[in-house]
Amino acid sequence: MQVGRIRLWMREELPDERRGMLIATVVLPPLILLLSALVSMQMLILSAAALSIVILEWRAAEREHSHDALRAALEVGLSWLAGHLVMAPLTPVSLVLACCYAMAYQGVLSVQRPPDRPARVPSLALLLSGQVAAGLIVLLSGKRAPLIGTATLGFLIAPQLLLLAGTSPHGHAYARRVAPFLMLAMPIAAWAS
C-alpha cells in the first residue's frame, strides 16, 4: 500500500526529469558498489571514494561553492586509477600520475571559471605544473621508453604555451584548445610508465 502511494505521488507531483533523477539517486549507488565489489576490493574502494566525492560536490553546489579539485579528482584522478586497475595492479607511479593529471585538469577547469569567480590557485600554474611533474615521473620511473615518453609529453606542452600568445589564458576558448593536448598526454604517460 505504501509503495502505491509513493508511485502515485511521484507520477502526480514530480516532473519526468525529476522522477528519473530520484530513482537514479536511490538505485545507482548500491548497484555501483555491488558491481565494483564483484570486480575487486580495490575497485570497491575507488567506487566508494567516487560516491563520496559526488556527495561532497553536491553539498558544495547547494552552497554555491563549486570545487574544481573535487571535480578533477573524480573525472580524471579516480577514472585513471579505475582504468589502471582494470589492466594491472595499482602501483605508486600510477597513483602519482593520476594526481598529476588531476591537478592539470583542475587547471583546465579553473581556466574556464568566469572572471567574477577567480580561482584560488593560478590555473595556468596547475595546468602546466601537473604536466611537467608527470613528465618528470615518467622520466625518472618509466619502464617503457622513458626518454621517448618524456620527450613526447614535452612536445605536447609546447603548443599549450604557444597558444598563450594568441589567446587569453582565461576562458573557454583557451581551455577548449588545451584540453586535447592534455587528454593525449595521459595515455602516453600511462604507456611510458
Asked if the structure places residue 176 within a domain, the reply is: yes
- Express each pLDDT in 139-180 by its tens digit: 898 787 888 888 888 888 888 888 877 666 667 778 888 889
Q: How many helices and strands (H and E) does the chain possess?
A: 9, 0
Name the phi and psi angles at 35, rounded to 5.
-65, -35
Asked if the structure places residue 71 within a domain, the reply is: yes
Asked if the structure places residue 28 within a domain, the reply is: no
Asked if the structure places residue 137 within a domain, the reply is: yes
Q: Which residue has the higher pLDDT, 22 or 132?
A: 132
For 11-20, 68-77, 130-139, which range has the lowest pLDDT when averaged over its residues?
A: 11-20
- Domain boundaries, position 163: 66-192
- Express each pLDDT in 174-191 by its tens digit: 888 888 999 999 988 888
Asked if the structure places residue 7 within a domain, the reply is: no
Where b means 16+ CB within 10 Å and e means fewer, 91-101 reads eebbeebbbbb
Q: CA-CA distance, 187 to 163, in Å (whole number)?
A: 22
- Express each pLDDT in 77-86 by its tens digit: 999 998 888 8
Say yes or no to pLDDT of 8 above 70. Answer: yes
Identify the sign of the CA torsion 130, 136, 140, 142. Answer: positive
Counting residues of the chain whose pLDDT is more than 90, the rounded percentage is 22
Q: Which DSSP string corresponds to 36-74?
A: HHHH-HHHHHHHHHHHHHHHHHHHHHHTT---HHHHHII
Tell me how many domains the chain contains: 1
Which parts of 63-122 fold into alpha helices (H)?
A: 68-72, 79-87, 92-111
Asked if the structure places residue 105 within a domain, the reply is: yes
Asked if the structure places residue 121 within a domain, the reply is: yes
